[in-house]
Amino acid sequence: MQIAISGATGLVGSSLADALAGAEDEVIRLVRRNPSCRDVLWDPTVDSFDASTLAGCEAVVHLAGENIARGRWTAAKKQRIRESRVHSTRLLAEGLAACEQKPRVLICASAIGFYGNSGERLVDEQSPAGDDFLASVCQDWEVASQPARDAGIRVVNVRIGVVLSDRGGALAKMLTPFRLGLGGRVGSGQQYMSWIALPDLVGVLRHAIGAESLSGPVNAVAPHPVTNAEFTKTLGKVLGRPTLFPMPTVVARTMFGEMADALLLSSTRVSSKELEQSGYTFMYADLDSALRGVIQ
Ligand SMILES: NC(=O)c1ccc[n+]([C@@H]2O[C@H](COP(=O)([O-])OP(=O)(O)OC[C@H]3O[C@@H](n4cnc5c(N)ncnc54)[C@H](OP(=O)(O)O)[C@@H]3O)[C@@H](O)[C@H]2O)c1
């Protein structure tokens, strides 16, 4: 299969590209700079995209977006977080819709931030959106893929949970303090974290490309979300380190500003039922095995 990927230099995109290439699929990377011979150069900030450059691709996986956990959430950063997702998705969806030779499927990243701070309530794909900044970004991000759906392309909006990898993302940031014995729960520790190991997310994206029954929003989270306190305890156990240094809410807010509430203190307990019913089997269904699997 020929599969195009945007954001292919990122944590998820690079792992997906490696896995597809290893399975002898042909990967076409949509890159913003320095294209190599099979890459397609694109500018996600302009007003139109000539998707005929992707002719022959059977699937497009759109993962590009300004990193949300790097740097403080200034007004300009928040605008980049929104625009880099919503505008780029609309650009791609409209371009593919206008294309003579359309792909069969467009897989668009979204995030469990869609549900906002939902406490202990288990949320699924039918649950309403939250009312904070990330929830509004996720709603607009998903709506932006509609032109492709209207043109008959199967569109899957993959609501991704906290991706566990030692190469990047939230876990990689935690590893140094935890290895130094300086780790601990954040705030009350009662907030839920819905996580997914990176190898499983790659598996889910590949599954979504082939699973004709999947369309619209699909949660990409492991079956057992945990509280921050449980996560902290399990990570300490896997690393063989104590976790005696809690980070109080006020410290988290001082250090990380608005991002602390959205990413560290917010509680989201997300169901993986739809994904499992579509036939996906997790490699890492529980946190202990996932951490042991992804931490080298
Ligand atoms: N990692 C997680 O825990 C997590 C959780 C929920 C949702 N997601 C979503 O999954 C997708 C992939 O995540 P990731 O962790 O792989 O992200 P990442 O490592 O930050 O990579 C994202 C890629 O997007 C491109 N990009 C960066 N800034 C951009 C901008 N301003 N405009 C357009 N493109 C930009 C870059 O690729 P190029 O330079 O090659 O264009 C970058 O490598 C993202 O949309 C993210 O929001 C991730």
What are the structure tokens assigned to 289, written together?
């095995």
| CATH architecture type of domain 2-294 | 3-Layer(aba) Sandwich (3.40)
Query: Please, are residues 36 and 30 in contact by the beta-carbon 8 Å criterion?
Result: no
Crossing angle of helices 169-179 and 228-239, rounded to 10° = 60
Q: Kindly report the protein residue whose alpha carbon is nearest to atom 36 of ligand 1.
A: 7
Summary mean pLDDT of the chain? 97
- Ligand 1 close to Cβ of residue 9 (< 6 A): yes
User: What CA–CA distance (Å, rounded) separates 223 from 286?
Assistant: 7
- Ligand 1 close to Cβ of residue 64 (< 6 A): yes
pLDDT digits (tens, 9 = 90+) for 45-68: 999 899 999 999 999 999 999 999
Provide the pLDDT confidence category of residue 161 given band limits of 50, 70 and 90. Answer: very high
The stretch 85-97 carries a mean pLDDT of 97
pLDDT attached to residue 206: 98
Query: Please, are residues 149 and 155 in contact by the beta-carbon 8 Å criterion?
Result: yes
Tell which atom from ligand 1 comes closest to the C-alpha of 68: 47
- Ligand 1 close to Cβ of residue 270 (< 6 A): no
N- to C-terminal Cα separation, the chain: 31
The stretch 234-248 carries a mean pLDDT of 97
pLDDT attached to residue 129: 98
Residue 156 CB burial class (10 angstroms; 0-12, 13-18, ≥19)? buried
- Ligand 1 close to Cβ of residue 91 (< 6 A): no
Within 10 A of 152 (CB to CB), how many other CB atoms are there?
A: 9
pLDDT digits (tens, 9 = 90+) for 265-296: 999 999 999 999 999 999 999 999 999 999 99
| HSE value, Cβ hemisphere, 13 Å, CA-based, for 132 | 17
Cα–ligand 1 centroid distance for 283 (angstroms): 23
pLDDT attached to residue 37: 84
Percent of the chain with pLDDT over 90: 98
User: What CA–CA distance (Å, rounded) separates 177 from 163?
Assistant: 19
